[in-house]
Structure formats: structure tokens, C-alpha cells
Amino acid sequence: MGIRMLLRIDLRVWVYLKIMKDTMKFEGFVDKGYLRCPGIPIQDIPDDLSIEYGFQEIASKWGDEPWKFRFHDSYHNSQGEGIKIQLNSKSYFIGLRKHLSLHSPFFAWLPTDQKYLSIECDDICKLMICFQIAHGVQFSLQESTIRDTLGPAKQFQLANVTRFCERQLIEADDSSNMKENIRLACEYNLRHFYIHLIRKVKDAKSLGDIIDEESLNMMPGEILKATVAMFFHRKL
């Protein structure tokens, strides 16, 4: 089956068909403007044909960008598992509870009958990047985007997103603003990033100069242990 669709992006979709009394669901692809999916032999089509159909976008891809999951649409036949997440800006997205709970204790602990959640966030793009990463999308993020992503990752207890951002910070290896980076590591418990930073410090006095009171008050236990080891033993 090939259906012409005037789209400039590649899509993965679920195709739902009800032919007479038979229902089917299968995956299709929109590639170069065509929907490609399994076909039906012409000889199998009865004279009194009755067809109901629907499409649900699973993921989309622009050019060389990675495939991205589609969160904005309601899920067909989801048995009431969809949860609507509303932002301050009145934007929202709908996700399946079982998918969100897989990555986040925050969603796993929500009451099973809760279908709506209001959150303190103004930019749906930043939030979507966070949830895309949680579902396995591998972005190459700029440092400012990493900082924007760490906030919702902490709010929704998305440990895999936090680790992803931490790895990218280490790979960026930016030591131009040590105080700010130290504060960031303390705020979001980025232990590996913190150790990566303080290994560049020459001595305990220099470390004391870049750790301000705000960072010290925010320090999680593991980071505090690393700091003590650096001050007194010069070991990490």
C-alpha cells in the first residue's frame, strides 16, 4: 500500500484498520512523502467493503536528526493510561503512564486514577528534550541546554537523563567557570562531573577559593566526601 502524503519529515506511525468485522494494527513509515505499510490483495476485497482507519504518529525525524518520540497526541486504545501534563504556558503533552513510570519513580508513585498533572515550567521544548532523552533519544546538547534539562530531570526523578547530561558536561570539559560548574554539580548531585572538575585543582587552597558557601550548603553526601578527601588527603 502506498499513499501520497505531503509531508517533509519521515514518520513512524501505527495504522489502525477495521475491515468489515476484522481489526488490524501494524506499523507504517512515511518516507519521502509516501506512507508505506502492508497491503491488502485486491482479490480479498469484498463487494460490500466497509473500512474504518486511523493513524497515530509514533516518532518523527527531520533530516539527519535522531528519531524523536511523539508525546503530544492522545494514545489510541490506551485503556485510560494517558496522563496530561500541563505547563504554565498552557502547553501540554500526553504520555502513557507505563512509559513514564519505567524511567521515573515520580510517575510510578502517582495515584493510578490521576489523569492530569500541572507543573511549574514555561518552555515545553526544554521539557520535551528531557523526556526524549529519558526514552533513549541521543542528542548532542549545548551547555545551556544541558543546564535547562537538568531541572526537569531532577523534578521528575529521571536518573538516566541526569547521567546523560553529566556525561556530556564531562565530554565538553569546560573549565572556564569553575565556580559555576561546581555549583551546578552540587545542585544536581553530579558526582562524576564534580570529581572531574576538582582533579584539575592544584591544591586544597585553590579548591577552597572556588567552593563558595552556597555550593558547600548544597553538597550531597558523596560530593562532600570527595571534597574532604581532596582537602586532607589529595585523593579521589
Between 99 and 80, the higher pLDDT residue: 99
| Predicted TM-score of the model (pTM) | 0.72
What DSSP line would sit under 177-217, residue for residue? Answer: THHHHHHHHHHTT-HHHHHHHHTT--SHHHHHHH--HHHHH
Q: What is the mean pLDDT of residues 195-201?
A: 84
pLDDT digits (tens, 9 = 90+) for 60-98: 777 777 777 776 555 554 556 678 888 776 777 777 777
> 206 Cβ partners below 8 Å, 6+ apart?
none
pLDDT digits (tens, 9 = 90+) for 19-28: 667 777 766 6
CA distance 176 to 203: 18
Give the confidence band of 167 by pLDDT, cuts at 50, 70, 90.
Answer: very high
pLDDT digits (tens, 9 = 90+) for 136-156: 888 888 888 898 899 889 988
In this predicted structure, the answer to whether residue 128 has a pLDDT above a threshold of 80 is yes
DSSP classification of residue 75: P
**191-198 vs 159-172: helix crossing angle, rounded to 10:** 20
